[in-house]
Amino acid sequence: MAKIADWDDHIGRRLRLRDLRVFFAVTQSGSLTKAAAHLRVSHPAVSQVIANLEQVLGVKLFDRSSRGVEPTIYAHALLARGRAAFDELRQGIRDIGFLADPTTGELTIGYAQSIADTMLPQIVEQFSRDHPRVVMHANIVPPRNQRFHQQTVRPVAATMRRVASALANALSAGDTAAAAALFATDAAFDDLTLHTSVVGQPAIRGFLDRSRGLLPYGLGTSIRHAVGSAQGGGYEWLKKGALVDHGVIALELDSRALITHLTAVWDGSLVDTATLTALLATTVEQ
């Protein structure tokens, strides 16, 4: 069997995406003949692709019988990882399309069951009018207790405390430049309540600029307490007197103490329709 070290010089040069597509078809149909018909190619062509794959990988992918073919344990392993690779590639192509035309794309939001028949239809309708080429998906978010329990908090590393404090202070003051400077170049910013993911420091700066006066964890917030190590942790923020008066921000840091991943969670059911709609609009690059 080929060793992992042989990937670049051997397997990587001989394993093609087309071969994996044929492999997926055979696995799904359980038959070389059915896979050939589905792909609109000849039976010998499919058979040759599978034989080449088995030769390259050095293992048997299918057990053959009169009833068809049955995937081996090696085929199941390749299937799981291969599908993930195809999914990432497909998403990458979609991302390129969204970047080429920022007025298009997909947006997924989370909502509490309590607003399903009240606020949600108005939000979706207004957002769709403002952004007709963006496809919106909505998922129910189960209720959860977002507060940290004081008794479970462990001593926080100095690095995490410094980064969390710097970020919270910058967001509270509306200093988006200072906040964005805390992120790595390829960082990801996820707001689970909005079901929004912003990738890249420039895009994060743009999102923070557009949402400066709207984000619940922005202007006028303070840290209740922080938790975590030099690699990961987060903090709970407070905003006294606000409709959304608390929430959680989780942080992942790299070796330079730059944020590589931020995840924000707050109770979206407490925000009025106009504010939530305006927040959703800030997730779309202008």
> Domain locations in the chain?
4-95, 105-282
Residue 214 has pLDDT above 50, yes or no: yes
Cα–Cα–Cα angle for 220, 224, 230, nearest 5°?
Answer: 110
Two tokens, residue 126? 């207004």
Domain spanning 4-95, CATH architecture: Orthogonal Bundle (1.10)
Task: Name the residue among 226, 271, 225 with its Cα closest to residue 245.
Answer: 271
Distance between CA atoms of 182 and 187, rounded to whole angstroms? 10
Pick the residue with more confidence: 17 or 249? Answer: 249
pLDDT at 245 over 80: yes
pLDDT of residue 114: 62
pLDDT band at 131, cuts 50/70/90?
A: confident
Q: Is pLDDT of 160 > 70?
A: yes
pLDDT digits (tens, 9 = 90+) for 170-188: 999 999 999 999 999 988 9
CATH architecture of the domain with range 105-282: Roll (3.10)
Q: What is the three-state SS of 78-129?
A: HHHHHHHHHHHHHHHHHHHHHHHCCCCEEEEEEECHHHCCCHHHHHHHHHHH
Residues in the chain: 286
pLDDT at 104: 67
Distance CA 129, CA 115 (A): 20
Residue 20 tokens read as 């994996």
How many whole angstroms separate alpha carbon 168 and alpha carbon 249?
10
pLDDT value at 97 more than 70? no
Picking from 2, 134, 174, 16, the residue whose alpha carbon sits closest to that of residue 74 is 2
CA distances to 73, 113, 119, 148, 188 from 218, in Å: 51, 26, 23, 19, 18
Q: State the pLDDT at residue 137.
A: 72
